[in-house]
Amino acid sequence: MTANDALGDAGPTVPSGWLSALASARSQEPRDRDAAEFVEAALAAAPEDPVPASGPLPGTAGFAVALAPFAELAGRRLLAELDPGVGRSAELDGLIREFTATTAAALGGLAARALVLELQVARVGGRLAGATPQARFRDFVAGTGTRDGLVRLFTEYPLLARLAGRGCVNAVAAMAELLNRYAQDRAELIARLLAGRDPGPLAAVDRAAGDTHRRGRRVAVLRFADGSRVVYKPRSLAADRHFGELVDWCNARAATPELRTPALLIRPDHGWSELIEARPCSSRAELDRFYLRQGVLLALAHVLDLTDLHHENLIACADHPVLVDLETLFHPPLPEDPAADDPAGRALDASVQRIGLLPQLVLGDEDALDLSGLGGGADRRSPVETACWEAAGTDTMRLVRRPGTVRAGANRPRLAGTEAEPAAHTEALVTGFRAGYRLLLAHRRELAGLLRRFADDEVRVVTRATQVYVTVLAEATHPDVLREPGDREELLRLLGTEAVDDQGWPGLLDHEVAELWDGDVPVFTARPGRTDLWSGTGTRIPGALQRPGLARVASRLAVMDEADLAWQEGIIRRALACRTAAPAHPAARPGPRPAGPRARTAGPAAPGQLLAAARELGDLLVQQAHRDRDRANWLGVELLGERYRRLAPCGADLGHGYPGVALFLAQLAALTGADRYAGTARAALRPLPRLLDRLAALPDEDLGVVGSGGFTGLGGILYALTRVSSVLDDAGLRALVEPAAALTVRAAGAERPTGVLDGTAGG
């Protein structure tokens, strides 16, 4: 059946350009042919006359109404795909209505940018009827939702037809798969996860619990008539099972408090999990037990290279922290950037900080947010701006960019209605970590045998930040890239350029783009015993990893010792100290006046005492420096905007960074003649030539953002180079003074601040 056949004699003639786009889709793989046929069938079922929308139309709800013929056809297709057993165990009519509504909402979001542009064209052209902005919007929606209106829309944006059709086909297949699996597994699911108590028919399926992967599949929460719930995961849960066995092994030893994992029902290609409910603690002692257990979990996560433990992946169930997402066990380190030679950064990346449980800030232009497993908390404004709609439901609707809202997780324990502050329980967390670390250390040979069970389990490798994919998918609905496939392909391939502020993983761009065309967040998986990766479409990518995950974990186990334990404990304490709400620079108060005989004898410290104290500090800095490739650097607490603190490698500013440390060590070397201070100072300043080259390539506007400030800008770098090159009589550093001075002048001419700290007065 062709598009013209589907429309019938009364329908408009479909232009050849749009028809050829459908034909082109049919000439590709079967799923594209299915998508094209779905579009034709949906158009055939679309009404010939406008159907006025009723009720409020917030957000993109009006556009969901316009694309209702697609969602309604998806609902009918879903019903036809279901096994008979589903109808006997579920409130099927309600589930189909729910699926239809969520599909319509997704389609409305997909088409929103194109429809807003068409809305404005119609408004300017005077083609909308109605006395109010709301009435004119409803007139537009009603007209677009007709057969004629949809054909006009898809004639202008042929790729939108293809994406809508493919999205519906994928959604139907994924939902049918879920419900059919539920019908097959229901009896055992009730026995294993619901204590054998029949919960009544399936009443609702919430598919908003995560991102879509593998052609529309996603985690879902199933709710039954009696209110009980279970979690469906469309992937293997073998790694979750083996983690549970490892926890049982730990629980059998009295060295650590007992941990809890969700009950599971495992199938080869999917699984079901107990839904862990958040519950408050009943006492301060329970709060401490919670953080003791969280410390043990942190030790396990550290040994197993588990990452991505953000606030949504952990539930506080009374005094039990329960991990509910273990996809990223045995996670490899990010590919090393050839330009990144910071030994302090590499040390931090290999520490407990990489797990995501300890405080970590997401930075925006004016705000920051801690989304770690220890952080989260109440609903907060996101520091990152996202696209949203202003004047929705009117004919002046337009896209704007504003900070969104990050919803509170259930990861923080509560007592008497108040969320616990994790920094107040630092000692409990460190004690639990120490106990867990020493348990694993004492039984490392036995542990190595247990870990081999994971060798063939499917684990996820996060190759790029999910938010990057989400942003690219949103931008790929712009009207300008919905006409020609090449334009959209070019936008998607920006992932592989410097335009995307994300390192990514080499060699995977083609796979990422293929999955983005499906509307999915790309997903890659590995097996801990191998170096291969698999894409979300099932394609094997041989040898993509440098080492198998099991080999990396075995190497970590082999070098664990008390010195490493002390280093990791230090990272934990410093990361938690960053959560302090104390002001960065409290007002100075006069100290007490000395009384008695000491008041008359106290005087300034002798120069020898001061030099001894400086040597003690210098020796500590030399000892604590992280070194590699002739460079030295330190971990420090970075102050951001006078409001936030972050554990990070020292940067290039004088006030908090390695130039300031190098200046101190160089002066100490000049006073003492000790080579260890001079050598460490030179090693600290090793990255400055390349940094100055990179800054020189920036336009003046961007250089002005860096600034000429004395403590946070180029003025401080210039001062450090001038002084260090002089006191160490270093010709190489002296050669950098003139280019640093030129950059400071350029920055001063382009910046706004005038202060000593970050402005021209400092420069």
Rg for the chain (alpha carbons), in Å? 30
Q: Summarize pLDDT for 424-444 with one digit per residue, the tens.
A: 999 999 999 999 999 999 999
Residue 380 contacts residue 405 (beta carbons within 8 Å): yes
Bridge-based pairing of strands 229-233 and 264-266 is: unpaired
Mean pLDDT of 48-64: 87
How confident is the model over 9-29, as a mean pLDDT?
Answer: 47
Whether residue 466 contacts residue 286, with contact meaning beta carbons closer than 8 Å, is answered with no
CB neighbour burial string for 572-604, b if at least 16 within 10 angstroms, e if fewer: bebbbebbeeeeeeeeeeeeeeeeeeeeeeeee
Paired strand residues for 704: none
Q: What is the mean pLDDT of residues 299-324?
A: 94
Q: The whole model's pTM is what?
A: 0.88
Cα–Cα distance for residue pair 123/398, rounded to 1 Å: 13
User: Are 204 and 94 spatial neighbours (Cβ–Cβ below 8 Å)?
Assistant: yes
Q: Would you place residue 13 in the very low, low, confident or very high pLDDT band (cuts 50, 70, 90)? A: very low
CA distance 460 to 332: 10
What value, to the nearest 5°, has the Cα angle with vertex 39 and ends 470 and 103? 45
Q: Residue 87's pLDDT is what?
A: 87
Q: Above 80 in pLDDT, residue 643?
A: no
Q: Which of 727, 716, 730 is nearest to 759 (CA)?
A: 716
Among residues 103, 196, 238, 156, which one has the least CA distance to residue 527?
Answer: 238
- Look at residue 367 in the predicted model and tell me its pLDDT: 67
At 478-529, the pLDDT tens digits run 999 999 999 999 999 999 887 776 777 888 999 999 999 999 999 999 999 9
Q: Residue 400 pairs with which residues in a beta bridge? A: 388
Angle at 461 between CA 457 and CA 462, to 5 degrees: 150
Distance between CA 546 and CA 332 in Å, rounded?
Answer: 9
What does the pLDDT look like over 105-161, one tens digit per residue? 999 999 999 999 999 999 999 999 999 999 999 999 999 999 999 999 999 999 999
